[in-house]
């Protein structure tokens, strides 16, 4: 362990990025569980990542708004397609989501096949580079997060099928570039799973607390032990969620879904 490596000035913007992700992903994750489409986040996140890869192939400035636009466009198109497939073949929607994830993932592999740095780029999109997030990178996602939170507060579970998919796509777009596909999935699903048997009044805030503690502990430990931040946050968040679930009430005691 290297205590000299613990630099809070590095951890703070990374933690803020994680908290921004959690603000939208915790309530969205609860809706994902309720709708029974658990792997939609992986599919939309992978499609958003494909948009980033396409922007790279087109040699767009990686720090410009055009990359965000490419990712958002890809995610929205994926959301529209998933809305159509759910309406036409609702009984196999989860399978269709899985197919879309595989197609987006393999399309990314094909696009970077001749790029000498393609493997590194793919790893960054999957595992993320949260520890190196800068304050200026949080401005646009922060504005988007406020808008999405306001919409979720006003509409919540009254969102239509298309509305839910579009909001979900926009939330995931910014998150993928901040924290990577793995943390997007973890932030959506793990806190919601941990608190599903708690009283409805506690679920949202407990889920936020689990997520924040997972990000904070993962960032600190990854800095101390020089380990990949994204992967360690996934493990810390999941372990904390398991503890919260084990300490909670028995299944069936409270059955109302988590609400924002």
> Confidence band (pLDDT; 50, 70, 90) for 36?
confident
Q: How many residues does the chain have?
A: 260
Structure tokens at 24: 């939208």
> Confidence band (pLDDT; 50, 70, 90) for 77?
very high
Identify the CATH number of the domain defined by range 3-247: 1.10.3470.10
Q: How does DSSP classify residue 64?
A: S
Phi, psi of 100, rounded to the nearest 5 degrees: -65, -40
Q: How does DSSP classify residue 249?
A: P
The residues, any chain, with a CB within 8 Å of residue 68's CB and separated by 6 or more, are 140, 173, 174, 177
Phi, psi of 205, rounded to the nearest 5 degrees: -70, -35
The residues, any chain, with a CB within 8 Å of residue 227's CB and separated by 6 or more, are 221
Give me the chain's average pLDDT, please.
Answer: 86
pTM above 0.85, yes or no: no
Where are the chain's structural domains? 3-247
Structure tokens at 234: 């996934």
For a pLDDT cut of 90, what percent of the chain falls above it? 36
CA-CA distance, 108 to 45, in Å (whole number)? 12
CA-CA distance, 65 to 45, in Å (whole number)? 18
The per-residue pLDDT for range 214-233, each reduced to its tens digit, is 999 999 999 888 899 999 99
Q: Give residue 233's pLDDT.
A: 96
> Confidence band (pLDDT; 50, 70, 90) for 33?
confident
Task: Name the least confident of 3-7, 30-34, 155-159.
Answer: 3-7
C-alpha separations of 175 from 38, 64, 144, 238, 256 in Å:
17, 16, 10, 19, 28
Q: Give residue 34's pLDDT.
A: 83
State the average pLDDT over residues 62-73. 81
């Amino acid at each position: 362990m290297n205590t000299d490596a613990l630099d809070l000035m590095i951890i703070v913007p990374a933690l803020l990025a994680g908290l921004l992700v959690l603000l939208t992903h915790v309530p969205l994750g609860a809706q994902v569980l309720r709708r029974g489409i658990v792997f939609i986040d992986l599919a939309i996140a992978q499609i958003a990542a494909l948009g980033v890869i396409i922007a790279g192939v087109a040699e767009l400035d990686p720090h410009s708004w055009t990359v965000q636009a490419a990712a958002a466009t890809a995610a929205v198109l994926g959301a529209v397609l998933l809305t159509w497939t759910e309406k036409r073949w609702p009984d196999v929607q989860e399978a269709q989501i899985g197919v879309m994830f595989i197609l987006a993932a393999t399309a990314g592999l094909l696009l970077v096949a001749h790029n000498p740095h393609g493997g590194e780029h793919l790893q960054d999109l999957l595992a993320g580079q949260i520890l190196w997030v800068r304050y200026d990178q949080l401005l646009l996602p922060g504005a988007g997060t406020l808008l999405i939170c306001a919409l979720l507060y006003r509409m919540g579970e009254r969102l239509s099928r298309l509305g839910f998919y579009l909001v979900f796509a926009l939330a995931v777009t910014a998150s993928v570039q901040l924290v990577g596909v793995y943390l997007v999935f973890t932030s959506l699903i793990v806190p919601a799973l941990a608190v599903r048997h708690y009283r409805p009044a506690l679920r949202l805030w407990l889920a936020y607390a689990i997520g924040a503690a997972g990000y904070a502990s993962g960032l600190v430990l990854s800095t101390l032990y020089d380990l990949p931040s994204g992967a360690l946050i996934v493990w810390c968040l999941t372990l904390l969620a398991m503890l919260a679930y084990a300490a909670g009430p028995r299944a069936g005691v409270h059955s109302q879904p988590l609400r924002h």
